[in-house]
Amino acid sequence: MATKLEKQEDITAFVDSIDTFLLDCDGVIWAANHVFDGVQTVLDLLRSKGKRILFVTNNSTKSRKAYLKKFQSLDIHASADEIFGSSYAAAYYIANVLKFPKAKKVYVIGMAGVRDELESEGIQYVEPEEDSKNLGSMDEMATIKPDPEIGAVLLGFDLDINYKKLAKAFTYLHHNKDCHFLATNSDLTFPAGGTVYPGTGALLSALTAPLDRDPVILGKPHQPMLDVIIAKYHLDKERTCMVGDRLDTDIEFGKTGGLKTLLVMTGVTTPASLEASKIQPDFYISSLGHLKP
Ligand SMILES: O=C(O)[C@H](O)[C@H](O)COP(=O)(O)O
Ligand SMILES: [Mg+2]
């Protein structure tokens, strides 16, 4: 069972035992553009005690550059190389692991974050405005055909997801087993406005349900992102803590990776879902704003 961090001496002892905090964003730092109470103060306090802070988010809607702007606009101190998003993880994987051929294109269901990161890795993708042309009826939909130019389908969060995009992605994957099937993350819910909405995993299920194949998922709880972070910063896993609001992504990510784990209750996990879950963090706390050493 997880230990609740409540008493001042327990919080201080916990903070003293950690050198690096990997912080999830949605549900930990903010919900949309609302920063949770006390977060800026705690981050400044942790930095003043010499702690390293890295932001590790499954939210693919922004590139690292766009996240940096968001942090600045919300008065949260951050630098570009402290930000690891699933859009960057996906672009990095396509470029460096798949060694994606220059002549091929990625078919993207997703937002600017994914496209910007693909661009920074020199990967070609299908422009979104090419998508909906002449697809107003089912007869026109039947003009969607397999396309040998498409070497991968990448799905991330997309506010403008629609049947036409799904039909294209499905067609490329269904008819060409060599076309890579990738997703930035698989969170089933997305926290905002004090409640949750369908997340990227919910959108992904519209493809996985009719297809007989599974995607490679780049974000938490999958380990490639952690491998990159550990290698880049030479982190001591024993003194690194993953802080998140979600058990099946953040906490699972930290536990699989051999890190300490801290759950906050400002996102998708409720006291009842924590009690019912097989995945238990080492510690939990009501909010990051309460982690004042
Ligand atoms: O559906 C999603 O993509 C996720 O709910 C969301 O964006 C996760 O972001 P994180 O909590 O990892 O910052
Ligand atoms: Mg979260």
CA 258 to chain CA mean position, Å: 19
pLDDT tens, position by position, 255-280: 999 999 999 999 999 999 999 999 99
For the chain, give the percent of residues with pLDDT over 90.
Answer: 90
Domain 102-217, architecture per CATH: 3-Layer(aba) Sandwich (3.40)
The pLDDT assigned to 293 comes to 82
Residue 250 annotated as part of some ligand binding site: no
Q: Is 158 in the pocket of ligand 1 (CB under 6 A)?
A: no
Residue nearest to atom 5 of ligand 1 (CA): 190
Token pair for 117 = 């990161």
- Residue 139 annotated as catalytic: no
| 216-217 vs 180-183, strand pairing mode | parallel
Read off the pLDDT of each residue in 160-168 and give the average, rounded to a whole number.
94
Query: Relative to the CA of 189, which ligand 1 atom is closest?
Result: 5
Identical fold between 3-58+221-290 and 102-217: yes
The pLDDT assigned to 49 comes to 97
Residue 24 annotated as part of some ligand binding site: yes
Query: Relative to the CA of 188, which ligand 1 atom is closest?
Result: 1
Q: How much distance in Å is there from the Cα of 26 to the middle of ligand 1?
A: 6
Q: Is 185 in the pocket of ligand 1 (CB under 6 A)?
A: yes
Read off the pLDDT of each residue in 43-58 and give the average, rounded to a whole number.
98
Asked if 84 and 43 count as a contact pair (C-beta separation under 8 A), the reply is no
pLDDT tens, position by position, 188-203: 999 988 899 999 999 9
Residue nearest to atom 6 of ligand 1 (CA): 59
Q: Does domain 3-58+221-290 have CATH number 3.20.20.70?
A: no
- Residue 26 annotated as catalytic: yes
Read off the pLDDT of each residue in 230-247 and give the average, rounded to a whole number.
95
Q: How much distance in Å is there from the Cα of 59 to the middle of ligand 1?
A: 4
Helix (H) or strand (E) holding 152: strand 150-155
Marked catalytic residue, from 10, 26, 44, 250: 26
Per domain, the residue ranges of the chain are: 3-58+221-290, 102-217
What 3-state class would DSSP assign to 167? helix
